[in-house]
Structure 1
Amino acid sequence: MDVGRSLTMVVIRQADLAGADASAVGAAAREYLRQTEQEKAERGLSPSLAGDALLPRSYQDEVDDPRKAYEGCRVLVAEVDHEVVGVVVVKPHGEGAEIKRLWAAPHLRGRGISSALLDAAIAEHSGTDVLRLSVWDWRTGAIRLYESRGVRAGAVVGRARPIALFPALGVDGSTGIGSAVLTRESGVGRSQP
């Protein structure tokens, strides 16, 4: 794919984790999770991963066997020129769902891939009572994307698609990951650890 020119067309579709997409989704999960662990290490929140060290076991399963790790989840991929360039994983959560992973190939960021995946996830879950997400507070690009969809800390985005972003304090008092749960009935956010 020539990254110097504009993207042809982004196709969002259900991932085939029992077949052709398992390897690409596993590779995307690996890149996403290694980046996350590196960012956490830079902030003193976890030990650094040396070289090609394995991820923590709870994450390594997503790389080795995404079909098993994401069982019961809705996994969508973004494809450009028949190449998987993005993934969103949405997990059922109580009365609704939670966006667990949202990733786009680093060399294609800023070209609408994450936007298309997020929009697809929101559209697919527009009838649920709760759609939850969380984000590390230093991921300003992701926060800008969520804010571009009207997401604010503890705010509801439309009555048909509740979704929230809520910065919280880490265990050590530092800012870090946070989330909020919003329901259509109340429209009130409740922070979740």
Structure 2
Amino acid sequence: MTDQREVSIVRWPDRAPSGQDGPAELLAAYHLQTQAEKGETVAGVDGLPDRYRAEIADPRAAFADDVVLLALTGDTAVGCLVVTASADGRAEVKRLWTDPAFRGRGVAAGLVGAALEHAAESGVSAVRLSVWQWRTGAIALYERLGFTVTESWDERDRLVCMERAV
């Protein structure tokens, strides 16, 4: 049975769930799933590229200049998102992940909404993101939230770049 408690969005590490290392488990799930979707399945975190392992091992250091948002139900982290520090008047949203058991409950939309609010408070003019083209559900969510496809700033194949004004 899925837990039906309310989900709240908090800034990490200001509020860390007890018994968990913040977003580490969620980041591990995100990166392992992404590798599998790219056809590069690995057996575990140790098989991930170094930069992804570094995020999982020490999210506080990896995202020291950024804002990490967690979706909590009770004291359990069920979603995460990173908002990068402003560059050229823009922030970037990355690492959006919702625990599969909590999908369809507005967790991702809540995280993106909180990221947009943070960006507005920080004085940025736009928020951008990149998403793999096969993640059609995520692309549809971003479009519903006002993001539009824009010229790519990333050289990787099959990556869709999107942006919206704040």
TM-score, L = length of structure 1: 0.73
Aligned residue among 144, 148, 151 for 2:147: 151
Give the equivalent residue in structure 2 for 1:87.
80
Q: Which secondary structure state, in structure 2, belongs to the residue aligned with residue 92 of structure 1?
A: coil
Q: State the distance in 2 between where 1:31 and 1:89 align.
A: 15
Q: 1:116 and 1:18, CA in 2 relative to 1: closer, same or farther beyond 3 A?
A: closer
Equivalent pairs counted in the alignment come to 162
Q: Which of the two has higher C-alpha Rg?
A: 1
Residue 120, structure 1, aligned to residue 114, structure 2:
yes
Q: How does 1:136-147 map to 2 (within 5 A)?
A: 136-147=132-143
1:4-40 CA distances to partner (integer Å, 9 max, x unpaired)?
A: x6x3211111111796576141111000001001101
Residue 37, structure 1, aligned to residue 31, structure 2:
no
CA RMSD, aligned part only? 2.7
Please say if residues 17 and 67 of structure 1, whose CA atoms lie closer than 8 Å, have aligned partners that are also in contact.
Answer: no
Please say if residues 167 and 176 of structure 1, whose CA atoms lie closer than 8 Å, have aligned partners that are also in contact.
Answer: no
Identity %: 33
Q: Which has the larger helix fraction?
A: 2
Q: How does 1:1-193 map to 2 (within 5 A)?
A: 2-3=1-2, 7-16=4-13, 23-41=21-39, 47-50=40-43, 53-94=46-87, 95-126=89-120, 127-154=123-150, 176-180=158-162
The alpha carbon displacement at 1:180 in A equals 4.6
Please say if residues 137 and 177 of structure 1, whose CA atoms lie closer than 8 Å, have aligned partners that are also in contact.
Answer: yes
Instruction: List runs of 5+ in structure 1 lacking aligned partners.
Output: 42-46, 155-165, 185-193
Q: Which secondary structure state, in structure 2, belongs to the residue aligned with residue 135 of structure 1?
A: strand
Q: 1:139 and 1:53, CA in 2 relative to 1: closer, same or farther beyond 3 A?
A: same
Please say if residues 87 and 117 of structure 1, whose CA atoms lie closer than 8 Å, have aligned partners that are also in contact.
Answer: yes
TM-score, L = length of structure 2: 0.84
Please say if residues 75 and 87 of structure 1, whose CA atoms lie closer than 8 Å, have aligned partners that are also in contact.
Answer: yes
Q: State the distance in 2 between where 1:112 and 1:18 align.
A: 21
Please say if residues 18 and 67 of structure 1, whose CA atoms lie closer than 8 Å, have aligned partners that are also in contact.
Answer: no
